[in-house]
Amino acid sequence: DNAIEACNRVDSNKVIQVKIISNSSYAIISIRNTYKPNENVTKGIEHGFGIKNMKGALKKYNTNLIVAEMSDWFQVTARIPKL
């Protein structure tokens, strides 16, 4: 939802990229989308819980969520071990 909402606020070049790379040991999942940097977004009481929830879920698998902001791109990436 966050990626879609962020793209809807961009005037042009609305892009969402999902990349999944997998081998026998782990999967890397990366989601990247265009967004307007430095724009305040108010979604009410649940604003900001998406990334917090993802970080909590990944903690169970002893891995981290990497969050990066690059110019007009926002990206989250996780390397998840296979069980």
Q: What is the tens place of the pLDDT at every residue in 20-51?
A: 999 999 999 999 999 988 775 655 555 567 88
pLDDT digit string (tens) for 52-63? Answer: 888 888 988 888
Phi-psi region of 44 (alpha: psi -120 to 50; beta: other; left: phi over 0): left
Q: Is the pTM of this model over 0.85?
A: no
Given this model, what pLDDT does residue 20 score? 97
* CA nearest neighbour of 35 among 51, 49, 14: 14
